[in-house]
A and B are shown apart, each in its own frame.
Chain A
């Protein structure tokens, strides 16, 4: 069974600074997909960024980027120029390749607070 571990239950950062959220996972698969989802307070979960395991290049979406280390099974999220609107719960998620119905397995989340 696949597992996803987020070792930082809570983090805080000052506005405009950079913060990195950690995620590790365990799988025997060679190809899979990794995601970071954001869940703001009382709002719905939205996709921040996704990474295909077969791609060596790290994904980037504006201020959000990942550091994907396949051998170490690590998938961290870096948020640059943090904004107050980045305050949210962040979930790392994993899905194996076809044949498993692309079931998402989530970590327990990291609560990020951006301070003014």
Chain B
């Protein structure tokens, strides 16, 4: 069964360092999402891609966060510089996106980030 892949699974970094996360969606899925999940809370959308284009990055802290999906397949989320408050689980999800229909979002295992 196809799954969303993420790496690394765990990342420990120091404040002010740069960190990057990678996501490979299910093959053929046009839509890719990055969520941040703070411990004890539900995921919050950071950025959404449709193919290689950003369709929603309204909650992305653009002064330190960036995301790209250059060929419309895999994606990278970067934080520079990392701050203590960035400690969280970063989840990637993908969906098929049939026009006009809400698709199921399939989630990856996440990357647990700890900023010291």
Q: Name A residues whose Cβ lies closer than 8 Å to a Cβ of B.
A: 4, 33, 37, 43-47, 50, 91, 93, 95, 98, 101-104, 106-109
Interface digits, B58-89 against A, CB 8 Å rule (1 contact, 0 not)?
A: 00000000000000000000000000000000
Q: Mark B25-56, 1 if CB is under 8 A from A, else 0.
A: 00000000100000011111100101000011
Known: A44-B108, A46-B107. A107 touches B42 (CB 8 A): yes
The 10 residue pairs across chains A and B that have the minimum distance between CB atoms: A106-B42, A45-B107, A44-B109, A33-B102, A44-B107, A101-B55, A91-B42, A101-B56, A102-B102, A47-B104
Number of A-B residue pairs having CB atoms within 8 Å of each other in the complex: 49
Contacts of B3 in A (CB 8 A): 44
A-B contact pairs, 24 of them (CB 8 A): A4-B42, A37-B107, A44-B3, A44-B109, A45-B43, A45-B91, A45-B93, A46-B107, A47-B104, A91-B42, A91-B43, A93-B42, A101-B48, A101-B50, A103-B45, A103-B48, A103-B56, A104-B45, A104-B105, A106-B42, A106-B43, A106-B44, A107-B42, A109-B40
Return the chain A residue nearest B112 by Cβ.
Answer: A42
B105 surroundings in chain A (CB, below 8 A): 47, 104
Give the interface of B toward A (CB within 8 A): 3-4, 33, 40-45, 48, 50, 55-56, 91, 93, 95, 100, 102-110
Are B55 and A109 in contact (CB-based, < 8 A)?
no
> Across the interface, which residues of B come within 8 angstroms of A46, CB to CB?
107
C-alpha spacing A107/B42, complex, angstroms? 6
Looking at the assembled complex, report how far the CB atom of B88 sits from the nearest CB atom of chain A, in whole angstroms: 14
Give the residue of B55, B104, B107, B109 whose beta carbon is less than 8 angstroms from that of A50. Answer: B104
Residues of A within 8 A of B44 (CB): 106
> Known contacts A95-B102, A103-B56; is A109 also within 8 Å of B42 by CB?
yes
